[in-house]
Amino acid sequence: MNRFSLAGRVAMVTGCNKGLGQGLAVALAEAGADIVGVTRRDADETRGRIEALGRRYTGIAAELGRDAPSKIVDQALSQAGRIDILINNAGTIRRAPALEFSEADWDAVMDVNLKAAFFLAQAVARHLVARRAPGRIVNVASVLSFQGGIRVPSYTASKSGLLGLTRLLANEWAAHGITVNAIAPGYMATDNTQALREDPDRSAEILARIPAGRWGTPEDLAGAAIFLCSDAAAYVNGHALAVDGGWLAR
């Protein structure tokens, strides 16, 4: 018995056209899952990598924070038939000093990172409960779920809220066989950190604190995602697994 196999399961992954989401989707497909990708833009590269593994890819075009999560899940179910796993990966960020931060930037981040994540989880959980089927929900949090950061007030608030939400949902849905956990990436080489990586001083400060001595990559999340979505993690619930090269330990 392979406790880490995801064969026969369908995983919905948001924001998987590139970056961390693409890495997560490909990792789950490598473990045997078919993938439902929810993206704003075409995810042709992701589709190609997943289909090359012999897995099915179903694309759903949607804009989180604007399109109703219940409709996104209904569309996914009509095409894929079922959902066993949800990875709430899609996220956005706005950078400005707290004294200057705008309400529009606050709302834009909270709507995607926290509100949409909750209502997608709710819709998927309702489907699982109706099927009387176990399930896995993994929220992509952040090391800023534990720390304050600077110049990202809405991002920090949303990721801190997402960790609290992870724990609440774990409490409520464990009785249904649904586990809800989080992955907390550290400083990863993605579009969200491009400004930091292009700032020589800030990049040097960040790298100096990471014991691993490098920025993370999407592939670094693969093992954590497969574990939390598999039978091997059946008794892991309400936990945040940091994948940060040792950042939080420093």
The 8-class DSSP code of residue 188 comes to B
CA 181 and chain centroid, separation: 10
115, 183, 220, 234 from 135: Cα distances, Å: 21, 16, 23, 10
Q: Two tokens at 70? A: 């219940």
Collapse the DSSP code of 57 into the 3-class scheme (helix H, G, I; strand E, B; otherwise coil) and give the result.
strand
Q: Which two tokens stand for residue 41?
A: 């833009």
Strands annotated E in 55-123: 57-61, 85-88
**What span, in angstroms and rounded, lies between the C-alpha atoms of 201 and 187?**
15
* Catalytic (active site) residue 155: yes
Residues 57, 155, 187, 235: which is the catalytic one?
155
Residues with catalytic annotation?
A: 155
